[in-house]
Every structure is written in structure tokens, then in C-alpha cells.
Chain A
């Protein structure tokens, strides 16, 4: 039998097949990107970091684009996708997974409202200045309310801030909770740790900021506009800080596992030195954290040389998004490659063409970018990102340009 070549030692007979495939790797990866992008946008919306403003609205649209596909890998994976909605109707509350439908829906509402409030002025203006179907579309988006007086906009801004304040804990909860889905499984020594939600959250923020940096640079290049280096450096700075928090937690988990050396240490060691050695030490820690950490440190130190710095930030961001994907892989797949008998390991071999294969995973990961293109057509966030750049006026004047 084929499977036997992939097994070392003794695994329980029912463990011969890996249950959670690459799609389940994708699920925490996507929700992480969502949470990270949202938190990046709230650096401006809540904490008033003005230098983030150029990408604040773009970050919200990015979060929405990925949020809309977050359920797809799960539904594709279910044995009975048509019953998936039962998680909303009859949630079994002792299950960490049962909250998903509600947390997801609540967060979706927060993100949509936040986007609506921050784009309302644009929407109303477009509605008033256009004809035919376009007028209808934007009037609909404006909910047929056209009040954009100074007072109304001020109210919007206040409400947007309140929403973002609710949004941060919900983003943290959405993703920390995904970590708990794994961290709360006592049957699996590789998953079961109270640090898991925090590790997930930090890596989520890291991946979200890195993605935002990449999308920002890419969209500016595509539109042939100048990049706001101040904004870029600020994002890089936050990326660096969260990388440190992320790696501290990840190493803390490994170090305490090894130091305490409980019953399961032998199989954990085998997992780390054999099964996921490359993806863990190589991709997750070295490529995904160490190299970006050094590059971003240099970016912080170096003077001028903006193009080089931009390249270094881009390379770091690419490494970070790859590294965080490896982190999700190492958790989801790694945890299933050790037997709960603690006496053996097995190997996950991804299939390309199948319901749980690599192809659907690629398709699902590509969809958010399509959504983002469509959404930015309807609600262009470019003004924030472009207008200020040439003379770099004080950011506070930007409001009057709308």
C-alpha cells in the first residue's frame, strides 16, 4: 500500500489519512491577512497615525476582499457543505469552532460599516455627479442619503473611530480564536498551548501589514504614481515591531516545550528535525522572520537611498507573507504529521486536482485579488495615496481636497 511508505513508527490505523488539508492551511492564512490589514488601517483610524493615512482606506478594502473568501476553504473542505449553515442555527457552544459563524458575521458587518463611513463622502459626490445606472448604483450605496455637510461628516468620522475601536478587538478575536481552535486541542501536543492564539494574532498582523505593503507598492507601480515613502517606512517600522513580538512568542513556545521535555518531546523533536525541519527552521524562522528582521533594521538605519530601501521593504514583505504561510502549514499540517500514539509520524502529500487539492487552494487565494480590483473600481481609494505626494503638504489639509 502506498501510504505505508509515508509512515514511520506506529500511527493509529485511523490516522493513515491526513484530515485537514492545504485548504485548512489557507483558512487561518486568509483570516490572518484580514485581521492584519484591518489592524494596519486602525493605526490611522484609532491611533491617529497620520503617516498611515494614504493606505488606511485601501487597507480596509483589502481586509474586505480577503474576508469575503475566508469561508470558502472551509466550505470546500466540509463533508456536507450544505449543512455548514447549521453552525449558525444550532451552534454547540462548548466547541471552539461554533463561534465562527457569529464572529465572522459580526466582523464582516464592522468592516463593511467602516468602509461605508470612510467612503460615504466619495459615494455621495459620485452619486450626485453621475447619470443613469451609475447614479443608481452610487445612490444605492449611499442609501439615498446625501447629507455631506461638515457636521454630518464629522459625525461619520466619530462613528468610524468608534467602530474601529470595536473593530480591533473583533479582529484580534477573529484571529486569536482561530489560534484557539488549534491551541485548545489537548489530544495534539503540537497544537495544545495557550500561546497559540497570541502566536496566531502576531503572525496575522505581520502578514497583513506585509501584504498591505506589497499591494500598495504594486498598485502605485501599476498606476505609475509616486510612492509615499514616509507611509511606506512607517508600515515597515510597524512590521518590524510586530515581527519581534511574533518571533518572541514562537520561540518561547518551542523553548518551553524543549525545556520541559514532557512525554511528547521525542515525537516533537522528530517533527522538528525531520518532518518540518525545512519549513520550520528554513522558511518560517529564517526566511520569514530573521532575514526580514535584518533588512527592516537596515531600512530603519539607512539614510536616503529610497529606491534601495523600497526594494528591501518589498523583499522583506514577500518573505514575510511566505514565512507566515509556512507557519500556518507547520501548525496545521505539522500537527497532523505526528501520531497521537506519540510513537510515529506520517507524511502529507498534497494532491493537485481534487476537492481538497492544491488547485482549489490556488483559486481561492487568487479570488481576493480579483475582488480587490473590482472593489477599488467602485470605491477608489487612490486619492489618499497619490495627491499629497509631490510637495508632501501637511496631511491635515487633505480633507479639504475631497
Chain B
């Protein structure tokens, strides 16, 4: 069967929309089949979990389905330059220059504007809020509208945020943006509405190559712990002391 990339994305989108908007029955079917952790909806105890995220940069193919799925799942405006997750492309030219780009956050994929023979190496790096253990955004919020949950997720209280944007300045990773519609700061929630029902974040579920892995750090048998126990891991900007909970496999020194 020959499916164009556009159609492929469309189908992918429909599936994600369907999952988000689906009735309770549909949801329970999905949750039974692809649940990250066995969990019954409704009696979620945030003290029993501590979430973590592993990105295997060696696997990412830069298709941008994760960024697309995220915008669909979380109502992030498509016509504004704001992203909860995106994919960066790093291309090291033979002459030594490093070209980095992420056109439209990778949602439309990437184009080959540099001939392959001029490249020394190239790779993709998905980015997302690091849900730091020592989050500078939470530190600087003047009213406590952004906070870390007991299960290790950094969230924004949209009914409380005054919209000063100090947290956006404080985040070293560019993971936050200003939501003009809400008049507040906004960011990745690791799809908190999904993970507390035992589902995976939309980006993880949309990734066709398994470059994004999500799971419970408190569960020794979880997928994230399997990788953390086996692979050599790094985090972004470790010198800033933010203690990210997004761990990278195969992180290049060019990546900041």
C-alpha cells in the first residue's frame, strides 16, 4: 500500500484526536490496550508515581509526528510559534560549521537543503519540558501559579497565573511560552490528563520509532528504568543544576 506522508500524518492525527475526544468506552479500550502502567481511572494516587522520560536521540528520524500530536492533543495553537515539544536537527558540515534548525518545531518535517556530501554527520534531538527536580520556573513564579506535583510533573495553574512571564525568562530550555488566549504562561504537562489515567503522553504514543520513552521512575521494571539502568545517560545543561527528568541517550556535545 502506498500512503503519502501527508495522508499518513492525517491518519495519525485522526487517531490522536479520536483518542482525546472519544467516549468513555473508547477510552477504556485504548487504556486497556496501550496503557503505560496498569492503573484504574479515578483512584490515581500521585504519591505512588514519579514520572520520568527518556529520549533516545539515535532513534529519532525527525518526522515531527510527536510535535504535531502534542499540538492536537493539548490545543496548542497551530498558527503561532509556540510549542510544548519540538525536534531539532543538527547538521555538522565537513568544514566544521554546525547548522541547527527546527522549522515550525518540526511539525512539517524537514527538507534537505544541504547536499549529503557536504555533511559530516547529522542527527535529530527531540526537546520537551524537562520537568526538572529543581525547576527554575517554579522558583521564580511570584505567586506560586506554577508548581511541581508529587508525581514529579511541573504544571501551571491557569486560573492563578498573572501572566508576568518571569518563568519563561527563567527556563533555560525555552520550554515555556505565553498563551495569548489564556493570558498565562503555558507548557508541556507530559499530558497529565492522560498519564493519570494510565495512558502515555501523546508525543510518546505518536513516535513511530520508540525514540521517546515514558514511565514511572518508582517502578524498577518500567521502560524508563530499563533504559536508565543500561544506557549512558545525559541531561541538558547539567551545569545549571536544574536536575532534569528528561534523560537523553546519545546526546551530542553540540546540543544545548
Contact = CB atoms under 8 A, between A and B. Distances in A.
B168 A3 contact: no
Given A10-B101, A188-B169, A341-B256, A91 B81 contact: no
B173 A12 contact: yes
Q: How large is the interface on A (under 10, 10 to 19, 20 to 34, 35 or more residues)?
A: 35 or more
Interface stretch (A94-102, A228-236, A287-295): A94-102
A390 interface: no
B184 interface: yes
B139 A80 contact: no
B254 to A, nearest CB: 9
A285 B153 CA distance: 45
Interface in A335-361: 336, 339-344
Interface residues of B, number: 46
A336 B173 CA distance: 14
Given A17-B81, A96-B140, A341 B161 contact: no
Nearest to B187: A14
A362 interface: no
Contact of B162 (A84, A187, A336): A84
B194 interface: no
Contact of B83 (A14, A77, A84): A14
Interface stretch (B30-38, B175-183, B197-205): B175-183
A97 B100 contact: no
B129 to A, nearest CB: 10
A91 B143 contact: yes
B166 A13 contact: no
B1 to A, nearest CB: 33
Contacts of B161: 79-80, 83
B164 interface: yes
B256 A342 contact: yes
Given A90-B143, A185-B140, A79 B163 contact: yes
A15 interface: yes
Contacts of B99: 10
B163 A3 contact: no
B148 to A, nearest CB: 12
A351 to B, nearest CB: 14
Interface in B103-142: 104-105, 127, 136, 138-142
Interface in A1-37: 1, 3, 9-17, 19-20
B246 interface: no
A31 B185 CA distance: 26
B162 A79 contact: yes
A14 to B, nearest CB: 4
A3 to B, nearest CB: 7
Contact of B169 (A84, A90, A185): A185
B96 to A, nearest CB: 14
B240 A187 contact: yes
A14 B163 contact: no
A106 to B, nearest CB: 17
Contact of A80 (B174, B177, B184): B184
B170 interface: yes
Contacts of B172: 186-187, 340
A86 B161 CA distance: 9
A94 B162 contact: no
A87 interface: yes
Contact of A187 (B102, B104, B136, B142): B136
A92 interface: yes
A13 B174 contact: yes
A13 B164 contact: no
Contacts of B241: 186
Nearest to B254: A343
A112 interface: no
Given A17-B178, A97-B166, A86 B143 contact: yes
A11 B177 CA distance: 13
A86 B142 CA distance: 9
Given A87-B142, A98-B142, A79 B136 contact: no
Contact of A83 (B140, B162, B173, B177): B162
A181 B172 CA distance: 15
A311 interface: no
B22 interface: no
A97 B169 contact: no
B92 interface: no
Contact of B163 (A80, A90, A97, A186): A80
Given A19-B168, A185-B140, A80 B162 contact: yes
Interface of B: 81-83, 86, 88, 98-102, 104-105, 127, 136, 138-144, 160-166, 168-178, 182-185, 240-241, 256
The 10 closest A-B pairs by CB, nearest first: A79-B163, A12-B174, A79-B183, A92-B144, A187-B172, A10-B100, A97-B142, A16-B81, A98-B142, A14-B177
Given A11-B174, A84-B162, A185-B140, 6 more contacts: A10-B99, A14-B168, A83-B162, A186-B240, A187-B170, A343-B256
20 contacts: A10-B99, A10-B102, A11-B174, A13-B83, A19-B165, A78-B162, A78-B164, A79-B162, A79-B163, A80-B163, A83-B160, A83-B161, A90-B143, A90-B144, A95-B141, A95-B166, A181-B166, A185-B140, A339-B174, A341-B256
